[in-house]
Structure formats: structure tokens, C-alpha cells
Amino acid sequence: MSEIKRVNLPYQASLLSFFSAVRDLPFPALLDSNHEHFPDTNHDILVATPLARIHPSKNSSLITWQKTPLYELQNTQNPMDLLNELMTLICQEPWAISAPRDLPFTGGLLGYYGYESGHFVEQLPDTVKHDIKLDSMNMGLYAWAVVTSHTQKSTELIITPWCSDEETADILSRLDSVSDNVTSSIETNQNTPFTLQTPFVSNMSEDDYAQKFAKVQDYIQSGDCYQVNLAQRFSSTYQGDTLTAYKALRDVCPTPFSAYMEISPEQSILSHSPERFLLCDNGRIESKPIKGTIARGTTPEEDKANADWLIASEKNRSENLMIVDLLRNDLGRTCLTGSIKVPKLFALESYANVHHLVSTVEGRIDQADQAIRVFHQSFPGGSITGAPKIRAMEIIDELEPHERSVYCGSIAYFSTNGQMDSSITIRTLVADHGNLHCWAGGGLVADSKCLEEYQETFTKVGKLTHTLEHVFLK
């Protein structure tokens, strides 16, 4: 069995400068834990130059190889099936790689699943307007990665047997050129500074939202559903370097599942998500759904009062419990029988602008290639759809005017050593050919109040939009 190589590098408190050193390579991606604030997310991961990309597009194949294909793949109709097959190939002989499980990522699949990737799991209507040019999914097969462990104060270059000597030498040369004294500063292209050209505008007026809210209430009262996540989209236009915008948001909105990905010179993803979707750690599957939100207080006393109110709120606890039950069902499709548990229910987690109620659902698997199957059978996350999931997604398609794109999908990796981690891509912006979009929504239930739910969407997204407007609007 082939083995990975581990090359020790100077410890990086942030991989942002290393990202700049490989940014000109195809499809660079940085999973950025912002660890100073969130010790539970211990690792940062940097990749670029995938051997292949799985990106379902109209009038093209599901997979694009950088060079000669490494594998003969049979499942060419559904990208989820193709990814399952590819993960099985790289986890089993003769292609399996001997890789320790103390590393989160030792080569493998990494990228994003847009919300509309749910159409590859279930038969769903598709009546929304598609005006974003990003593919519904873009997963890369990566042969090398830079991995930082913040608890170990270590940074390593991980090299798989798929990576050529020439490519390894190039990556090491690039990383060696970065100063050892790395901070979170970013080298940006000074010829294209980032500017926001227009304020963010929603795709719904308050009256529009109220009408859609009433429709959801009709569906709930008629027994169609218990909860529906209704979101609005906020859009602006921009020029310049979106990495500058990402850095500004990272400083004011620290979150455990931040990520920056460049899909093309005109397309990037700026994610500042607080929510884990699914983790696989040595066969243990974990999901941490968020359901229940309140704004932070302006004084310590008000902040504590808000947190205490959220913890005691029967409405928010009921919403959270609905999603916990949904996830127990989703994980039960693929996890080992009897392994599903809920070790934490209604825990409080606090972020820069909001408090959240967060629960933990766990299960177990026994084979390395099963993590991606658990992910696919559970996608998209129930916390951003509603319950029951399929009916809620049908109602979302009916009521929301535009596609969600990367929003409410996931940024995920599936490693050759069986490890997996993934976010729910809330608090996420999509930059697409001069247009900048972000979204915010909330779970509507029978006792929801329209004005409160409408205002909550602004609370959730406000730190992002207000920061960009304050710093970059000209």
C-alpha cells in the first residue's frame, strides 16, 4: 500500500499567506477555522490544482480530468453516485493510501455542494430563477494539502503518491518563498482593490415576505409541514479582489467554518459559517444543527438576558427538536443500527452578532468510504430546509424567487484516511462576474411572528452586509 509523505513547515497561525503563494494555481481553496475563537475547530486546510473536478454542468461531462484519467468510472449519470464510486476507489486496494488518522485531510475530495445539489438526491421541482453562473457542485480530487494543527502548533505539507516530484518541488518552492513571520495580512493585487459599487438590496420587499410567510402558515395549518426555512437574498455589485473582502469579514465575523474558494477569476465563495453539517472522526459521525437565534446585547447585562431568553424559549427549543429528529432519521439511513445518539440538546453557542441554540447528533460507521454516503443521504442539512424535508424543499422552491446556489449547501472534504468534515454554508457570499450575493433565512413554525422572523434575517446577515458597505462602498 502506498504511503503519504509529510513535510514539516514553519507553524502558521493562519494559512492566508500560504494561500497567496498558491493562489495563481487552478481552484485554490482554504478551509479556515479562525481557531483563536473556536478551539473545537483545530485544523486549517489549503489545497489547489485538483487532479479532477466533479462539476455537473449543462452540455458537459460530470468529471473533468486535469491530465490522463486515473480511474475508469462507471457512474456517469448522477454526480453523487460518481463521487461515491470515486471515494470507494481511492479507499480500497489497489489504490488505497496508507494515511494516519491524526490528520484531518490526507488527499481526497474537497469542494462545495450547492443547495440545488439536493436535486441529485430527491426528485424535486425546479421553478426558481437561475441567474448565478456557478455550477451546482464543484468537488476536486486533490493530491496535496497544507494542513495546520493549532493544538500541536504544527503545519505540514501532505503529499500523496498521485503528486509528481515536479509538482511537489513547485509547491515547496512557493511555500518557502513566504516569510516565516506570517501574520493574517494578505498580499492583494493593489491594481484591483475591492470596492462595493451599490448597497445590498433584497429580492423581497417586506410585503413580499409577509405574503410568503402567510403561505407557509397556510401549509402548516393544513398539515403539509411543521417547519419551513424561508430565506431572502441580498445582492450588490463589486469590483476588485474578493480576498480583501473575505479578510475584512473574517476579522469582524470570526466563525469556526470560514472558507475562501476561487472557482475562476470572476467567481469566488466567501463563507463565514458557524454551523457544522457532518463530521466523521475515526468512524464517529457528528452533526451540530443550529436552530434558534437571538441578537447579542449591547451591554453585558442585555447580552446575558438575551442568551437566557433563548435558552428558555419554548418556540426555539421546539424548532431545534424538530431538526434533531429529522437528522436522527437522516443519519439512521446509513449509520450502524443502534448507534444514533443525542449527547447535547439545546446548547448555547455565541458568535460576534448572535447567540444560537445548537444540538449534537451522533452515529457510527465502520468503513472509510461510507462517510460520503452518509453525507449524500443526509444532504441538504435539515436545519436549513424544514420538516418534513422533501415537502419543505418543495415549498421553498415555490416561494423563493431565486436559486440558493452555494447558500444552504455545504463546503466539505472526504479524506483518503476516512475522515470527513463539512459546514452548512450559511453566512456565505457568492461573487459571480461582478455580482455579490448573500442570503439569510429562518425556520417558520406555527407560532412564528412575521415581523420577528423578517427582522431575524437582517440580524443574521447584517454583520456581513454592514461591514462591506461601511468599509468598501464608494
Q: Which positions are annotated as active-site residues?
A: 275, 291
Strand bridging mode 435-444 / 428-432: antiparallel
What does the H/E/C string look like for 254-317? CCCEEEEEEEECCEEEEEEECCEEEEEECCEEEECCEEEEEECCCCHHHHHHHHHHHHHCHHHH
3-state percent breakdown (helix, strand, coil) of the chain, nearest 5: 30, 30, 40
CA distances for 167 relative to 49, 160, 163, 250, angstroms: 10, 11, 6, 31
Residues in the chain: 474
CB within 8 Å of 208: residues ≥ 6 apart: none
145 forms beta bridges with 158
Burial of 88 (0-12, 13-18, 19+ CB in 10 A): middle
CB 4 within 8 A of CB 97: yes
CB 324 within 8 A of CB 361: yes
What is the sign of the dihedral through the CA atoms of 315, 398, 406 and 235?
negative
CB 259 within 8 A of CB 352: no
